[in-house]
Chain A
Amino acid sequence: MARAATTSDVFNAIAEPRRREILVLLRAGERPVTELARELGIDQPRASKHLRVLREVGLVRDRQAGKQRLYGLEARGLRPVHEWTGGFERFWNESFDRLGAYVRDLKQARQEE
C-alpha cells in the first residue's frame, strides 16, 4: 500500500505516539498549546507542529478565545479509523478474503479432477 502523506491521512497522523497523547488529553476538553506542551513535556513549537497535523486531518479544531487559541477534539475525524477497525467494511473484507481462499482451493480441486 502506498504511504499517504501524514498531513492527509488520519491513520498516519495517529501513528505518532505524541499525537495520540494529545487526542487523549483533549478528550477532557479544550486546551491551549502551552498546557498541552507542558503536560507532554515537549517544547511549544513541537506541540504546535503536532496540533497542525491533527488539525489538517480533521482530528482537532481550534478557536480564538480572547488572547488564547484553544484546541479541541474533533472526534468525527476518527470515523475512518473506527470504520476500518470493524464494522461492515471489515466484515466484508474478511469474508472476501475467505472467499478468495475458498475459490482458489476450488480451482485446484477442479484441476485435479
Chain B
Amino acid sequence: MSATGQGGPSQSATADREIVISLVIDAPRELVFEAFTEVRHVSRWWGPKGFTTTTRSFEFRVGGVWDFVMHAPDGTDYAEWITWTEILQPERIALLHGEYRDDPNAFESVLVFEAVGVATRIEMRTVFPTKELRGEAVEKYHAIEGGEQTLSNLATYVTEIARKGMED
C-alpha cells in the first residue's frame, strides 16, 4: 500500500455497512478541496490508474449533478450518477452516488477535509443503506477492477509479508 492511501477500521454504529478510507496529502486544504469542485480536476484522478471518464454534465452545488460514464481499462463502460447533498468549503462534501437518477441503491459518502499542519487529511466515509448493499458494492467494484490484477496484487502482498516474517 502506498504511503498516502490507508483504509481504517471504524467503531461506529454503522460499521457493518460502511467503508472508511482516508489519506494525507502534502498540500493545503483549499487546494485539495478544489480538486473535487471542477470537472477538469476530478477527471484527472477519478478511478484507479487507467480509468477515464466522459462527463455529460457537472454542476458542483448542493442539488447539482455529475452525470458521467467511467471507462475501465478493459473497455467496459459504467454509468455513474452523483449528486451533492452538502458542500461546506473547504471542510466537508457529502454526496449521493448511484448509477442513474433516483437509483434506489445509491449510497452516501461524506468527505471531511482536515488541515494537518501544511498538509491535509481526507476521510471518506461511505454508508450503504444495508449490509447487503455494502457487499454488493464490494463485488461490483471487484468486477470493475478485474480479477487478474487483483490476484497479482494479492500475490505481491503475500510475498512481501512472508519475506518480512522471515526477517523477524
Question: Do A and B interact?
Answer: yes
Encoded as 1 (CB less than 8 Å from any A CB) or 0, chain B from 137 to 156 comes to: 11111101101001101100
Find residues 72-105 in chain A having any chain B CB closer than 8 Å to their own CB.
81-104
Tally chain B residues at the interface, Cβ within 8 Å: 47
Contact A95 B122 (CB under 8 A): no
**In the complex, what distance in Å separates the CA atom of A86 from the CA atom of B154?**
9
Nearest Cβ on chain B to A28's Cβ, whole angstroms: 21
Nearest Cβ on chain B to A89's Cβ, whole angstroms: 5
B21 within 8 A of A: yes
B69 within 8 A of A: no
Which of B2-10, B55-63, B87-95 participates in binding chain A? B2-10
Contact B35 A92 (CB under 8 A): no
Contact B4 A15 (CB under 8 A): no
Nearest Cβ on chain B to A75's Cβ, whole angstroms: 14
The answer to whether A110 and B31 touch (CB under 8 A), given A3-B164, A15-B162, A97-B4, is yes
Contact B142 A107 (CB under 8 A): no
CB within 8 Å: A-B pair count: 124
Q: DSSP majority for the A interface?
A: helix
Residue of A11, A96, A101 contacting most chain B CB atoms (<10 Å): A96
Nearest Cβ on chain B to A10's Cβ, whole angstroms: 11
Contact B27 A106 (CB under 8 A): yes
Which single member of B5, B26, B142 contacts A87 (CB below 8 Å)?
B142
Find residues 16-59 in chain B having any chain A CB closer than 8 Å to their own CB.
19, 21, 23, 25-28, 31-32, 34-35, 41, 44-49
Nearest Cβ on chain B to A31's Cβ, whole angstroms: 23
| Chain B contacts for A1, CB-based, 8 A | 1
B157 within 8 A of A: yes
Q: Which residues of A contact B (CB under 8 A)?
A: 1, 3, 6, 11-12, 14-17, 81-104, 106-107, 110
Q: Which 9 A-B pairs have the closest CB atoms?
A: A94-B48, A87-B138, A93-B5, A15-B161, A98-B45, A86-B150, A99-B45, A86-B142, A88-B141
